[in-house]
Structure 1
Amino acid sequence: MQSRRPGLGFIFITLFLDILGIGIVVPVLPGLVEQVHGGGKESSAFFYGLLVALYCFAQFFCAPILGTLSDQVGRRPVILWSLFGAGLDYFLLAALGSGAFPWLNGIGWLIAARLIAGATGGNFSACTAYIADISPPEKRAANFGIIGAAFGLGFAIGPAIGGILGKFGYHVPFLVAGVIVMLNCVYGLLILPESHKPENRRKFQLSRANPVASLKGLRRSPLIFGMSMSFFFYHVAHYVYQSVWVLFAGYRLGWDTLEIGVSLAVVGIMSAFVQGFLGRKMLPKLGERLAMKLGLIIMALEMVGFGLAHNSLTMYLVIIFGSVSGIASPAMQGIISRNVGDDEQGWIQGAMTSLSSLAGILAPPLLTGVYAFFISEKSPVELPGAPFFFSAILVVAVTGIALASTRRGGNFD
């Protein structure tokens, strides 16, 4: 058992540093796009949205390939390759931002950098499969909680660091993020043990690795299909944070960038606490199905609370209460992981990453569209909280689908 600990610790550090790097560049990426694009704010904003979509598209297509590949060659090489790709992306963006290389300029390089990042962004699926490899089935859901903890801490700290570093130029945050990721890659090369046993290896099949076939494979059983659909719509609902939080907080509450940044930091810290500590205590006691049910019900109430909030105190009370909903995601992942073989963990996690990437493509325009309509003159009533109410309805549907899928058969407690 002791040999497993360094692997789990490294996976947490890997995911944390990965999200920290993403968080560091969040405040300055729009400015870099505007600088390189050379157009006005409107056209630059559109192009920025296009780059986000390109990243998600590349991840959607490549995550199943990397996940399935990890079932054959092991998790370690895929994780290290993904880290190297992320570092290359950051260094390329740093070079673009510095202006030190006159030949390295223009929209094409921006697109290339984002495609590289998306194509090698399969470390999430490989890291999740790694956790499944080294965790007994009854502890997987609790250990999956470190994913949310890493995300929460990374997004709580990263943007603040990026905002400070951005004062020294657009290229500095990208350079720092690149160095962090490359050091993590070297550390992994020296320290990280392989988790996927040779007897559990599965030959790579392109028919299973392409995203369409990978998602079709989710129909193998009612439980896997139902839980996968629940996972997808859960992520669509959760994208309300990335899509409209800033818009809603500025419009309804009059928050400035500092207040918005603080609120997101609190969200990240609470998420890290719940998924990294509280959830790991609660999940073994509640069982995966009950923890999922409880988390989803709290999330639905949380979304309604945000939609109704008219002041800062209410928002923070809802953030604290709603953070307990973080136990739902690792519980769902635990149920899905339990019900596939050890030789398919890379494939299933790649498919899940594709679903979350697809949610990242579809959810932002959907949720911002709902927001824009309900604050426009076309709306019969001004309702800036409408995207949160929409997400609450989705979560109620997710709860019904997930509970129906796990009512009979399967392995989930």
Structure 2
Amino acid sequence: MISLKTKTKQSKNAMVFVLITVMINSIGFGILIPVLPDLLKTLTDLPNNQAALYGMWLTFVFALFQFICMPIIGGLSDRYGRRPIMLLSLFGLGIDYFIMGLAPTVAFLFIGRIIAGAMGATFSTANAYIADISPPETRAQNFGLVGASFGVGFMLGPVIGGLIGESFGPRAPFIAAGVLSLMNVAYGYIFLPETLPADKRRDFSWKRSNPFGSLKSLGQIKGVKGLIFILFLLAMAHTVYPTTYAFSTIEGLGWNKADVGFSLGVFGIASMVVQGGLIRIIIPKVGLFWAGVIGIISAIIAYTMMGSADSGWVIYAAGPFAALAGLYGPALTNMMSSRVSASEQGELQGAIGAAQGLALMIGPFAMSGMFWYFGDTENKLPYGLVGFPDNLIHMAQHAFAHGPAPYVPGAPFLTAAALSLLGFGLFVLVTTKADRQARYYDVDEAK
């Protein structure tokens, strides 16, 4: 029998590893954002707005395989434990970065994204780890620590990527990301404990371990299906950052790679403050429902400001709101996590991951399509990049008229704001009076 002291030490080791893993992986992800436009333009010899379409398809392929494989990975972690699945996914991500960094053609970028999507269990398995080791009253805050670690990585990654990309070319950051991922595999192999006891594991079922089967199974638990759909909408809106943020700011504001990286670094600092500190104050004070409300409304404000920006300071002014948007993820995830048993945490996180994968399949088409259509310099009209609500007015007028499209490089962000507004309305509709009064959930109470 495992002593309380040993169990506490194992939980602490698991928490430390999860946080380091998320940070390193977000560094690896963030490193790529400032240099991907240049790498795509180098490999395709296409202008900015057309190269963005390749970025869209790369994101789509990643999301497709994540959508298919995430519930499988979640089910396997419920059957065989979290540790082997986490290490396998980290190794796959490392291989992906090397393939993309050494890619001689665009086809190799797609191969790398397929591997990353199939192995993309890191964040869902990380959340399953958190659910395993966290009591109900601190679960949302610990989910917030995962977000804070992501914020630290997202702060460092784009800055590192922008600097390395400017100094050594657009391929070098991919190699750096691969080295970081494989170093983390070695660290995890030595120090990562298993947190899912054998008596809490469940048999693997292909019927449940697919996107539709897991959603059907979890949908029988009150409130889960609606909250997953809301996260799907919000995740689709969030695809504006990896898909078109760099393209939009480079096109509309004349930024370079270093500008993009530095701005994302500032956002990472703000996100770290919110998810690493403020979330531990806000959620116990206002509860999960109101934390979700604050987060979604903040996202709407941030997207609207970025979509209507006519100078760089507006992007930075939107940063605090973009950071506060990080509240909705831990709040909604805890609402769902506390409704399922310990043996279903991997399945739940797999279903959430599948929903996010589906959002990554659809979102890039919407965001890249909006940028391709409204961000073409050749169609730039005299009014240029103007403030809100003029952007929306010009876009609406064009929907009912003919002629060149108005030049609105921030159009993808306005689309994200509309999706988030829809998510907010549904969040208000699907939650109950008990949800609005709860500070946290106990599994038995939620059921």
* TM-score, L = length of structure 2: 0.81
Structure 1 stretch displaced more, 310-319 or 78-87: 310-319
Cα distance in 1 for residues equivalent to 2:369 and 2:53 = 14
Q: CA deviation at 1:25?
A: 3.5
Provide the residue aligned with 1:293 in structure 2. Answer: 293
Say whether 1:277 aligns with 2:277: yes
| Letter paired with 2:235 | H
Q: 67-76 vs 358-367, which deviates more?
A: 358-367
Q: How does 1:261-340 map to 2 (within 5 A)?
A: 261-340=261-340
Residue 129 of structure 1: how far off its partner (Å)? 0.4
Aligned counterparts of 2:146 and 2:256: Cα–Cα separation in 1: 30
Summarize the Cα distance change of 1:396–1:40 in structure 2 as closer, same or farther, 3 Å threshold: closer
Q: Which residue of 2 aligns with 1:130?
A: 129
Matched, 1:80 2:81: no
1:305-348 Cα shifts (integer Å, max 9, x gaps): 33444333333222224422221111111111111111110011
Answer with 122-131 or 40-49: which moved more.
40-49
Q: Secondary structure at the match of 2:260?
A: helix
Q: Identity percentage over the alignment? A: 37
State how far apart, in whole Å, the 2-side matches of 1:126 and 1:342 are: 13
Deviations 1:137-181 (A, max 9, x none): 121111111222222222221233233334335554333322221
In structure 1, distance between residues paired with 2:206 and 2:366? 32
Deviates more, 1:282-291 or 1:70-79: 282-291
Output the CA distance in 2 between the equivalents of 1:331 and 1:50.
31
**Structure 1 gap ranges (5+):** 98-104
Structure-1 residue corresponding to 2:3: none
| 1:10-409 aligned within 5 A | 10-29=17-36, 32=39, 39-41=44-46, 46-94=53-101, 96-97=102-103, 109-166=108-165, 167-168=167-168, 171-374=171-374, 379=395, 380=397, 382=406, 384=408, 385-407=410-432
Are the aligned partners of 2:164 and 2:173 in contact in 1 as well (CA < 8 Å)?
Answer: yes
CA distance in 1, matches of 2:414, 2:100: 38
Question: Paired residue for 2:384?
Answer: none
Superposition deviation, residue 373 in structure 1? 4.5
Note the C-alpha offset of 1:24. 2.5
Q: What is the rounded CA distance, in whole Å, between the counterparts of 1:174 and 1:304 in structure 2?
A: 31
> One-letter code of the match for 1:132?
A
**Within 1, Cα distance between the matches of 2:412 and 2:112?**
32
CA distance in 2, matches of 1:392, 1:106: 35
Matches of 1:112 and 1:306, distance apart in 2:
32
How does the TM-score come out when normalised to structure 1?
0.88
| 1:75–1:195 Cα contact (<8 Å) kept | yes
- Are the equivalent residues in 1 in contact too, given 2:236–2:359 (CA < 8 A)? yes
CA–CA distance in structure 1, aligned partners of residues 152 and 30 of structure 2: 10
Is the Cα contact below 8 Å between 1:86 and 1:117 reproduced in 2?
yes
Question: For residues 331 and 8 of structure 1, what CA distance do their matches in structure 2 show?
Answer: 19
- Note the C-alpha offset of 1:293: 1.5
Match for residue 390 of structure 2?
A: none
Instruction: Check whether the contact 2:144–2:330 (CA below 8 A) recurs between aligned residues.
Output: yes
* Matched-pair contact (CA < 8 Å) for 1:139–1:284: no
**Matched AA of 2:93:** A
Shifted more, 108-117 versus 178-187: the winner is: 108-117
Distance 2:51 2:309 in 1: 32
* 2:265 match: secondary structure: helix
Q: 1:294/1:28 Cα in 2 relative to 1: closer, same or farther (>3 Å)?
A: closer
Return the offset for 1:247: 4.1
Residue 301 (structure 1) shift? 2.8
Residue 193 of structure 2 aligns to a residue whose secondary structure is coil
8 Å CA contact 2:34–2:246 kept in 1: the answer is: no
**Equivalent pair of 2:267/2:322 in contact (CA under 8 Å):** no
d(CA) in 1 for partners of 2:282 and 2:109?
44
Residue 304 of structure 1: how far off its partner (Å): 3.0
| Paired letter, 1:207 | K
Count residues in correspondence: 403
Change over 3 Å in CA distance of 1:180–1:139 after alignment to 2:
same
Instruction: Report deviation, 1:360.
Output: 1.3
CA distance in structure 1 between the partners assigned to 2:411 and 2:161 by the alignment: 31
Q: Deviation per CA, 1:160-204, whole angstroms, max 9, x where unpaired? A: 323333433555433332222112111111111111122210111
Superposition deviation, residue 362 in structure 1: 0.9
CA distance in 2, matches of 1:110, 1:250: 22
Alpha-carbon distance in 1 for matches of 2:41, 2:321: 38
Aligned residue identity for 1:143:
N
How far does residue 48 in structure 1 lie from its aligned partner after superposition? Answer: 4.4
The alpha-carbon distance between structure 1 residues 158 and 89, as it changes in their structure 2 partners (threshold 3 A), is: same
Q: Quick one: structure 1 residues 59 and 383, their matched pair in 2 at CA, closer, same or farther if it must change by over 3 Å?
A: same
* CA-CA distance at 1:374 after TM superposition: 4.8
Residue 115 to residue 309, structure 1, CA distance change in 2 (3 Å)? closer
TM-aligned CA deviation for residue 59 of structure 1: 1.3
State the Cα distance separating 1:118 from its structure 2 match.
Answer: 1.4
| Structure 1 Cα separation of the partners of residues 338 and 129 of structure 2 | 14
1:293 maps to amino acid: V
Q: 1:111 to 1:325 in 2, by over 3 A?
A: closer
Residue number in structure 2 paired with 1:101: none
Q: Is the contact between residue 243 and residue 364 of structure 2 (CA under 8 Å) also seen in structure 1? A: yes
